[in-house]
Chain A
Amino acid sequence: MTPNLVYVVIIGVLFAAGVSLVLERSLTRVLMGMILLGNGVNLLILLGGAAGTPPIVGLGPQDAMADPLPQIMILTAIVITLGMTAFLLALAYRSWALSGHDEVQDDDEDRRIMRLAERDEGSGIEDTEEPTR
């Protein structure tokens, strides 16, 4: 089997565009990036199976049939992407309603730990400190 060059190029472009959007801060853009990445991944899976007639028994000879396995996987992936899109959209809206923008903020807890690390301090768990006697 030989690779289909059009697919190879489209996959690359979809991934590049998706990554570029995912690295943004705006949740809407991150979501669009995820959708593009999802499309790229689906094509990547599709590329693994031969093209042909639709995998419906009786439409044509079985040798000419497209490989059904990648299609089954992709169908699941498409619908899951829909669920995820709905959830992330709700998240973006909620973020906007609460803070006036839909940008992903840095995690407060992580930043607290980073500050502790910069100050060379421990996490303040009582067992690790000298007891005051």
Chain B
Amino acid sequence: MLVLLILHALAAVSAPALIRALGNRALYGLALVPASAAAWAVTQTGRTPTLSIPWVPQLGIGLDLRMGTLSWLLLLIVGGIGAIVLVYCASYFTPGAEGLGRFAAVFLSFAGAMTGLVLTDDLLLLYVFWELTTVFSYLLIGQSPEQAASRRAAMQALVVTTFGGLAMLVGFVMLGEHAGTYRWSQIAAGPLPGGGYLATAVVLILLGALSKSAVFPFSFWLPAAMAAPTPASAYLHAASMVKAGVFLLGLLGPVLSAAGPWRPVTVVAGLTTMLLGGWAAMRQHDLKLLLAYGTVSQLGLLTVAFGAAGRTAALAGATLLLSHALFKAALFLVVGVIDKVTGTRDLRRLSGLGRRLPAVAVAGCLAVASMAGVPPLLGFVGKEALFAAFAEDGTTGAVVLVTLVAGSGLTVAYGLRFLWGAFATKPGVDGTVPERAGFAFVTPALVLAAAGVAAGVAAGGLDSLLSPYADGFGEEGPGYHLALWHGPGLPVVLSVAVFVLGGLIYAGHRRREWPGQRFPAADGVYRRLMSGVDRAAVEVTGATQRGSLPFSLGSILIVLVVLGAVTLSLGAPWPSGVRLWDTPLQLVVGLVVVAAAVLAVNTRRRMTAMILVGVCGYGVALLFVLHGAPDLALTQFLVETVTIVMFVLVLRRLPARFSARPLRINRWTRNTLAVATGLVTSGMAYAAVMGRQAVPISVDFPDLSVSYGGGNNVVNVALVDIRAWDTMGEISVLVVAATGVASLIFRRSQALQQRRAEQGNVPTTGSGWLRAAEVPESLRQSIILQVVARLLFHTIVLFSIYLLFAGHNMPGGGFAGGLVAGLALTTRYLAGGRDELNAAAPVDAGLVLGTGLLISVGTGAAALIAGGEVLQSALIDVHLPLLGHLHFATSAAFDIGVYLIVVGMVLEILRSLGAELDRQADIPEMSDESDKVGEPV
């Protein structure tokens, strides 16, 4: 069974290439794939093969396949008709037609999904295949995406069936959660849930089944779906996909019909659909639409048969399912032929085709005869059985029978209308002259129609094949058997009544125009619903997404303040006491920070504000020192310095003062919100101390860092070892940020290339160590500063490397070291401009970043290869001559990567915010904002 599914997938993938290579002939070969599914089904006749492969065992989902009798029947239909339609496609499509490869691929995917759907035993898997058929159907209906009607129809079918599918999924989950398994064969064997629960699940599942099978009130999508190419309609919307809903009814019926709502819902919806569809079919002028409404009507009939959930009705349902697939696919193929050879499907313009296309007419007549229930065709056998099923059912049965007779009468009438429209010679209409219809084009329809005759004659044999399914309804007694002739009785009388009624309706319809509206207003309801959803979305989005940053931030902050205040006032764990400070120095530093922060808010000059923010940062660094966090303090000092440099580099180009535009949120509101947030956060900080109730995870960190990480500095060892994943994410952010900065500043890709060239081409003096850029005397900023910077550069870089390696046991580490090296580069840049920077670091920043990331990731991966966990570090102790004992943890390599990334980021920032901004200011034509350079600070 799995082979069948794989075969379909392979065929679908290779279909476009095959069609490109072989043209339409490839379709004959592809037809073998669904044909093989049908052939396999034939070899398995009378058996119930199963297959179970675990897929997501945690969720209990497996590839559980099981072919019962009904699945067997469906597989025959899906495979057999799929193959025949593919053969037909080879003649239907013009050779080299655009999109044929796509069509064939989607068609085969659909056939595969349908095969999976009928074979699966797992309800969740069934849902997956169910939705796959929906998606492929969407693609086939939207075969001509450039037509609005095609798009609309595809979307409508998708929305309606997906809605039903979701409802069905909920129903499945309810059943599955109750039973503890999603295998239907096990759910069916186990005890069912109780009344209301079961009823809800059943109604939800019925929503899915009925919407898929286009049963009222979901019928409207099917006629619209006729925008699909006719072969697709023949397969999807007559033979297979719309049968999925009916199939589900047939599959679940033996068990779930015990639920209260099952019979009333299915029978009423089915009968309504049958009458409405038949009525609407009578007024169609397009042959294909006539068939579509006919299909709706017949699906109603099938729903009644399976919904009734009795042994005889189920037997009738299975028979009708087969006969409908045969005759309706045949009829669609006939319409396709007519459309192709005459160029029209309008029955008012066709005339005299019966004589010109005799073979097509024979196929059409046989198919319609089966549809109308004329003996000895299969349709007759099925309909007789259905009448018999309701014949002994009291008053309800009588009502159902009357409706069935009326619906069948309509079926006879629109069948006649179809034949008349397609083949009759009409007075006053010029005879249509068709093109020649080839043998391979006509044969598929003939084969299908003939199969209807053969199956009807062999009704007795069919009975033994289908009875195992019907026996699942477990009724006692001798039971009904399919046969061509049961002798005189109510069913035969009803059949005669149907013919008479049908003839009368047809005769009456020829006299005057058929009354009635287009199709019941469900289509309009759907549209109103959709536009309502759309309107609601616009209103909600318009009300919540104001598009203003202060508004959005304000909303978030208000929530923070309100939630925080409420939680705090409703009994936060208030600490019992409070201490003023750990050391009085904290108060001194704190006063500075507070003053700087308040001033920073109120200043209107950019540079002043920046310096005040920097003071805050340095103050916080001092607090870190006082707290006993030297690594934090070191990093914070360095980061603050780099930040100030960056700000200066950018702010020299921006206006000195902030623009004084009127703000949407006025000053008073803003400050109130700010003070409120401050108060709430203070309260939270006050109460948060009590939040740490459990023993902190970090009590073991000191021991772990020595024994596993091989270092004494707990913070740094944790960064590169215990919490190395965290650091990995962090350095990735840095790489992304640096790349983002460069892409924002280098506005033209040629600027980026020029930068590369510049790096290699700086005219320099001196050897490798004390390299300096040759700068014209006039441009030199400060010769003393430049020389000092050059002299200090190596010392600083050396210090940074010391920090990098010392960090394992003392304050320092990759971050601090990288920042120090970055500051060394910054010094060179500030002293001598971009040429000096290029002389100091003649490498591309991206290269440094990439190398760093490679080293870090490589270290992590190496541990994996060596058999450890990702990022696990190993300790290496070696004795080297001269150097003595060398103690080395592999996590140091990770830290080297961090170091390089930080250096690369600073370099990228200097190149972008520094050098490139200089260049844009130097070259007026390159800088479109040269007239807006800010006033000097």
What is the interface of chain A, defined by CB distance below 8 A to chain B? 1-26, 28-30, 32, 35-36, 39-40, 42-44, 46-49, 51-58, 62, 65-69, 71-72, 74-76, 78-87, 89-94, 96-97, 100-104, 106-111, 113-114, 116-118, 120-123, 125-131
Is there contact, CB below 8 Å, between B543 and A117? yes
In the complex, residue of chain B having the shortest beta-carbon distance to the beta carbon of A98? B929
* Residues in A whose Cβ lies below 8 Å from that of B902: 79
Cβ of B779 within 8 Å of any chain A Cβ, yes or no, is no
The DSSP consensus for interface residues of chain A is: helix
In the complex, residue of chain B having the shortest beta-carbon distance to the beta carbon of A16? B678
Cβ-neighbour of A15 out of B593, B678, B747 (below 8 A): B678
Cβ-neighbour of B692 out of A29, A48, A62 (below 8 A): A48
Is there contact, CB below 8 Å, between A3 and B686? yes
Is there contact, CB below 8 Å, between B912 and A90? yes
Is there contact, CB below 8 Å, between A69 and B600? no
The DSSP consensus for interface residues of chain B is: helix
Is there contact, CB below 8 Å, between A130 and B913? no
* Residues in B whose Cβ lies below 8 Å from that of A103: 659, 661
In the complex, residue of chain A having the shortest beta-carbon distance to the beta carbon of B606? A28
Cβ of B922 within 8 Å of any chain A Cβ, yes or no, is no
Is there contact, CB below 8 Å, between A94 and B643? no
Is there contact, CB below 8 Å, between A23 and B810? no
In the complex, residue of chain B having the shortest beta-carbon distance to the beta carbon of A85? B643
Is there contact, CB below 8 Å, between B663 and A83? no
* Residues in A whose Cβ lies below 8 Å from that of B127: none
Residue among A40, A72, A97 having the largest count of chain B Cβ atoms under 10 Å: A72
Q: How far is the CB of B629 from chain A (nearest CB, A)?
A: 5
Q: Which of B890-929 contact A (CB under 8 A)?
A: 902, 905, 909, 912-913, 917, 920, 928-929
* Given A9-B590, A85-B646, A117-B539, 16 additional A-B pairs, CB 8 A: A1-B575, A6-B580, A7-B586, A17-B674, A28-B658, A57-B713, A67-B698, A71-B715, A72-B719, A74-B632, A83-B734, A86-B913, A90-B913, A96-B929, A97-B747, A97-B929
Is there contact, CB below 8 Å, between A122 and B534? yes
Known: A4-B579, A20-B674. A78 touches B745 (CB 8 A): no
* Residues in B whose Cβ lies below 8 Å from that of A7: 586, 590, 623, 685
Known: A58-B712, A126-B151. A32 touches B913 (CB 8 A): no
* Residues in B whose Cβ lies below 8 Å from that of A17: 597-598, 600-601, 674, 678
Cβ-neighbour of B581 out of A6, A68, A107, A116 (below 8 A): A6
Interface residues on B, range: 35 or more
What is the interface of chain B, defined by CB distance below 8 A to chain A? 148-149, 151-152, 155-156, 159, 527, 530-531, 533-535, 537-539, 541-543, 545-550, 553-554, 557, 575-582, 586-587, 590, 593-594, 597-598, 600-601, 606, 609-610, 613, 616-617, 620, 623-624, 626-632, 635-636, 639, 642-643, 646-647, 650-651, 653-654, 658-659, 661, 663, 665, 670-671, 673-675, 677-679, 681-682, 684-686, 688-692, 696-698, 701-702, 705-706, 712-715, 718-719, 723, 726-727, 730, 733-734, 736-738, 740-741, 744-745, 747, 809-811, 815, 902, 905, 909, 912-913, 917, 920, 928-929, 932
A47, B627: Cα distance in complex, Å: 9
A120, B535: Cα distance in complex, Å: 7
Cβ-neighbour of B689 out of A21, A48, A65, A121 (below 8 A): A48
Is there contact, CB below 8 Å, between B913 and A23? no
* Residues in B whose Cβ lies below 8 Å from that of A28: 606, 609, 651, 654, 658
Cβ-neighbour of A116 out of B542, B577, B598 (below 8 A): B542
Known: A80-B730, A96-B653. A10 touches B593 (CB 8 A): yes
Is there contact, CB below 8 Å, between B535 and A32? no
Closest 8 A/B residue pairs (Cβ): A110-B547, A16-B678, A117-B542, A12-B682, A83-B737, A66-B628, A107-B547, A69-B698
Residue among B155, B632, B736, B929 having the largest count of chain A Cβ atoms under 10 Å: B632
Residue among A6, A13, A54 having the largest count of chain B Cβ atoms under 10 Å: A6
* Residues in B whose Cβ lies below 8 Å from that of A23: 550, 553-554, 665, 670, 673-674
In the complex, residue of chain A having the shortest beta-carbon distance to the beta carbon of B636? A78
A21, B610: Cα distance in complex, Å: 12
Is there contact, CB below 8 Å, between B678 and A66? no
Is there contact, CB below 8 Å, between A123 and B538? yes
Some 29 contacts from A to B, beta carbons below 8 A apart, are A1-B692, A2-B579, A3-B688, A6-B581, A14-B597, A17-B674, A35-B617, A36-B616, A47-B685, A47-B688, A48-B688, A49-B698, A51-B627, A65-B714, A67-B696, A74-B629, A78-B632, A79-B730, A86-B738, A87-B737, A90-B650, A90-B741, A90-B913, A96-B653, A97-B747, A97-B928, A101-B659, A121-B535, A131-B152
